Chain A
Amino acid sequence: DGGITQSPKYLFRKEGQNVTLSCEQNLNHDAMYWYRQDPGQGLRLIYYSQIVNDFQKGDIAEGYSVSREKKESFPLTVTSAQKNPTAFYLCASSTITGGDGYTFGSGTRLTVV
């Protein structure tokens, strides 16, 4: 079955370390997205990519970086420059027009200690 996979589900890191969150989809979707969710908050867009080797900053890109070397993969790196990295991170994908909405992964909960 086609879907979108995020790994790991839970991640613990020490303050000051970079960490990379994985997102893979086999839906043949062109567009992929990263969102951050804090308790009681909505979804805030970090980065998105509509085509391989191209991506754009979302509303809260500072302290994050991404790459899109393959259509299926859109990893997110949380760098040490991100001041409050502890959050729930959601990856999503869609067709290029987004006409059927986004398909979300099951999320990665990052805790920085």
Chain B
Amino acid sequence: GQQLNQSPQSMFIQEGEDVSMNCTSSSIFNTWLWYKQDPGEGPVLLIALYKAGELTSNGRLTAQFGITRKDSFLNISASIPSDVGIYFCAGQLDFYNQGGKLIFGQGTELSVKP
């Protein structure tokens, strides 16, 4: 089946540093989404991207939908301790041909040292 390659798998950074993570796939997606999962909780949607080339910001977060529609990245600027968690990318398949299912990356576990 379709797979997303998310990297890095984990990151250990100092508070105040910037963070960058990305997802790539051999499949084309109509939508890219980025989720954050706090420890022991369900993932929460951070950013949704709907158009190839789209660059969207949400506070300190910036995400881009790759031009080829096969990749996306997420940047977090000036990290703070509450950024700790697991970040998942997800690509959405075409609804009419493939049911609109989300395919998730393996996650990037972020640790922030105060």
Give me the interface of A with B, judged by CB distance under 8 Å.
6, 40-43, 45, 48, 50, 59, 88, 90, 92, 96-107, 109
Does residue B21 face the partner (Cβ distance < 8 Å to A)?
Answer: no
* Main secondary structure on A side of the interface with B: loop
The reply to whether A101 and B95 form a contact with Cβ atoms under 8 Å apart is no
**Residues 70-114 (chain B) with a chain A CB within 8 angstroms:** 88, 90, 92, 95, 99-102, 104-107, 109
Distance (Å) between the CB of B38 and the closest chain A CB?
10
Residue in A43, A98, A107 whose beta carbon sits within 8 Å of that of B95 in the complex = A98
- Residues of chain B whose beta carbon lies under 8 Å from any beta carbon of chain A: 1, 6, 31, 33, 35, 40-45, 48, 88, 90, 92, 95, 99-102, 104-107, 109
Knowing A42-B88, A43-B88, A59-B1, say if A101 contacts B102 (CB, 8 Å): yes
| B99 & A50 in contact (Cβ 8 Å cutoff) | yes
A89 CB, nearest partner CB in chain B, Å:
10
From known contacts A43-B104, A98-B100, A99-B100, infer whether A107 and B31 are also in contact, taking CB-CB under 8 Å. Answer: no
Among the interface residues B6, B35, B40, B101, which one has the most CB atoms of the partner chain A within 10 A?
B101
Q: What is the bound-complex CA distance between A100 and B35, given in angstroms?
A: 12
